[in-house]
Structures are given as structure tokens and as C-alpha cells.
Structure 1
């Protein structure tokens, strides 16, 4: 009986795993399709930045972190990571399932972010995608990231891109709703270790959130509207700092 039950459990587990992977692949494909359409419209508006010093810095941080993000991928589906930098004064960044990301130049230029601070945001975004927070809240929407809002809303408001005709995926599934505090804490923690593994100083994390919270006074950056930066969050990052620094120092001593 035990052996038979064990076999049944094993088969059930495999079936469930395959179904989960299929679901992940489908969601990633839908996100990729919507992302492509959004980026094409952004290009038509002339807001895609591929040549500025800021864009090159953001892309450099991204390229350095991708191999380490791939190692952390336990979804069973390979991500085709992609980052688009757009010219905008908006202090914002977001990611979609499967590793489709957008970074706004204003976030770097207005806050004078160092590469380590760019890596904090990048790691947090990548962590949301890796943990499939968008998939977990499929009925809420496929968007993940610091802003926690849909790509169509973000693009339309910031880039002047009309996303109303994207065929439904972003428009139907993406709504302006934040992730849970547990999701945000998880993204903070995983992002912290991810940036350290990639060779970026994790000590930049707490100071980045302070810097963003102070930006614009009481109004603050829009990316903090659903992503509060409070004392408990910074305390949690400081709690994890010794372990993160150990990883960072080991990585840089090679």
C-alpha cells in the first residue's frame, strides 16, 4: 500500500508540476506579447533610450545581474530577460512575468543613483518576476514590480503611449493594485542577495529607500505609492546585511 501510494503521489506531483510550468509559460508568453506591443509604441513615440550614458549604465547593471537571476529561477521555465530604458522624468521602474522590464531615466538622473543603487531596484524587480508574484495574483493582473501597476497604465500615463488596443492581456489583466506586504518583503530580501551575488554592494539598499522616500517631499516618487518605505523595511534589510555582505565580499574576492 505504501509503495502504491508513493507512486500515486509521485505521479500527481509530476502532473501538478507540469501544469504549473505550462501555466507559467502561458503567462510569460502573454506578458511578452503585450510587452512587445508596448515597447513598439514607445519607440514610435521616440521615448526609448538606447544611447545615453544613463541608459548604458542601467543596461550594464542589468547585464551583470541576469546570469545570477537565471541561477535563481526555480519556475521550471527559462526567462528571456529583456530591459527597455525610456526617457522620462518619472521616478519609476516595473517588471512583467518572464523577465520583461522597463526602467525610467528619471529614476536614475533625478536621484543621482549609483550603480549599486540601480542594482537595488533591479534586484527587487527581478525578484518579483522570479517569485512569480504576478502569477500568484493572476486574477489581480500580470504586472509585477515596484509600482505594482499595469503596463498599460504606466505606459499611457508616463510615456504617452496608447495601450488600449493591446488585445486584452495587459488591458484585461492589469489593474492598479499593490502587491501584499509579504510579497514586497520577499522581493526586498531576494533582491538584496541577488545584487550581492552579482557583485553590487548591498549596503546601498537601505539608503536607496530613504532617498526615494525623501524625493518630492510628501508626494514622493510614484513608485512608492504602492510600495511603502518605512522603518520596519529598513530594519529588515539591516538585519540581513551581515549575510548579504558576506556574499558580496566573497564574490568580489574571487
Structure 2
């Protein structure tokens, strides 16, 4: 069986482009050039759309993401690397997604029309992704190596979904398209992941030198952390899982285990501190979802990695 490489994260970074939503049922306050929504500072969704939208339409993005996801599933199935729908871990992921998805429209109203999918790939990579249109993928390694609780899976899923909801790939996609890269990246990613002839998929070699433009900024990571935990908390998952999760990530990274998620998602105590600073916003949301108060919430319990 082939080991999955870097394509999922690349696809998620490259293709996270969508159409503008009308914000609904949210507490939103303009603050300078930023927006404070549900107690979380975010950038307006329109900030980086112009160039990318001229170069590639939302319809083209949706079609490309759909095609790439179908190709990933097909190849993984052929290689025996796609877990069946009946597998307990697939059911677990999909049940968590069912609870999270209804709360995604707070951050992008278009999400109500997304064709959500959740699948699990048999790979030892510590990684997960969400493509445009709600196409979610987890690698089995991230569950097994980090011994994730449901709350921690929800934190990861929320984080990846948040990147798609907030269209964090648009600026990088615009830059890539401006250099002629965008049209080839989807095929390049498929070549890396699926072993397809690079002459067919678009020429990975020409794209390799441009991958730096695909990394998320620190502000985008902060948004994804906090928005992901907001979505998870509203679904009844403990936001304190975000702190436990990133400590596990750091611990595994210190042991020399390759964590693809950290290659584009910078870790460290600073991001944990930001999450802790927002517990005054996140914990009340979680407590309401559980029908209790913050004072009555039990301490968060995780499972140690071995």
C-alpha cells in the first residue's frame, strides 16, 4: 500500500476559495478594518477575493475540488487505503461532523449548500484537511498516534473546516494564479498523493518552487483555531480540548515523529496562550450547549500519548 504524502494539505491550501456569504445570526461588531464576531477577531471575508476571483471562479474551484476529492477516494480505495463507511472510526468522524456542520453557517452562510463529505484514509500521517465545499479527510495516524478524544477530533475538524469557511487559501491561490501556478497545483497534488503520471497531472516540478505562497499566515491560523473551537463548542465539544491537542502535537513533534499538520500549522505555546485567552468566550458557549454553567463544568480529561 502506498503511503499518502503531502497532497491533502496542499489541496486544502490551494483550493479554499468560495463565494461571499451574508452573515446571519451572529454577534458581529466592526472594529477598524477587522470584525469581532462571537467574541473572536476575524478579517472580513472579502479582504483577498478580488484577484483570485478574477482568475478562477467559485464554480471552477468547486468543480476542481470535487474532482480531486473523487480521485483521492478512488485511488485510495484501489490501494486498500480507504476505510469503509461501516468502520467504527469512520462512524465516529461522521457523527462528530454531523454535530459540527450545522454551526458552520455562522461563519460562512454558503456552507449550508456545501456537499459535505467525511472520509478516513489509512495512513500513518498525523494530518487532516477540509477542501472547499466541505470535503473532509482524516488520516488514521492522527487518531491513533495522538490517542484523540472526541473533543480533540472536533477541535481538529473545526480547525480545518474553519480554514475552508474563512477562505484562507484565497490570497495564496491568487498569488499562485498570478504566477501561472494555480492551474497546475491540483494536478501536482494528485500526482504526489496518487502516483499519477506528472505529465498528466500538470507538472509538479514547476510548482515546487512556489509552495511557500501556500502557507497560512499566523493570523489565519489564529482564526482557524478559535473559529474551529467556537463551532465545536456550539456542537457540545469541550474547547479545552484545543489546549490538550496542541500540547500533544508538540510532544509528538519533540519525539521526532513527522507531523505534516505542523508543517503548515505552526505550533507552540503562543497559540495555546491565545486559546486560553479566549476561554472566557468559548467555555460559556460550551456550557450552554451542555445545559450547565461554566462553574459546574468538570475538568477536561484527555488520553496520554505513548
The two structures share one fold, judged by TM-score above 0.5? yes
Moved more, 179-188 or 63-72: 63-72
Aligned position for 1:133: 168
Q: 1:30 aligns with which of 42, 47, 64?
A: 64
Gapped regions of structure 1 (runs ≥ 5): 1-15, 143-149
Moved more, 26-35 or 103-112: 26-35
User: Residue 85 of structure 1: SS of its match in structure 2?
Assistant: strand
Q: Is 2:103 the partner of 1:68?
A: yes
Question: What pairs with 1:33-48 in structure 2 (closer than 5 Å)?
Answer: 33-48=67-82
Q: How many residues align?
A: 231
Quote the Cα distance in structure 1 between the aligned partners of 2:206 and 2:285: 41
Q: TM-score, normalised by structure 2?
A: 0.65
Gapped regions of structure 2 (runs ≥ 5): 1-48, 178-184, 293-306
8 A Cα contact 1:45 1:161, kept in partner = no
Q: Is 2:277 the partner of 1:239?
A: yes
Q: Is 2:217 the partner of 1:180?
A: yes
Q: TM-score, normalised by structure 1?
A: 0.78
Aligned position for 1:3: none
Give the deviation of 1:80 after TM superposition. Answer: 1.4
Task: Say if 1:169 and 1:124 are closer, same or farther in 2 by CA, change over 3 A.
Answer: farther
Q: 1:194 aligns with which of 218, 231, 244?
A: 231
Q: Is 2:147 the partner of 1:112?
A: yes
Task: Say if 1:23 and 1:156 are closer, same or farther in 2 by CA, change over 3 A.
Answer: closer
Moved more, 66-75 or 189-198: 66-75
Give the deviation of 1:74 after TM superposition. Answer: 3.5
User: Residue 220 of structure 2: SS of its match in structure 1?
Assistant: helix
Map Cα deviations across residues 47-82 of structure 1 (whole Å, 9 max, x no partner).
111233222212221122112124432358822111
What is the CA RMSD across the aligned residues, in angstroms?
3.4
Quote the Cα distance in structure 2 between the aligned partners of 1:163 and 1:251: 49
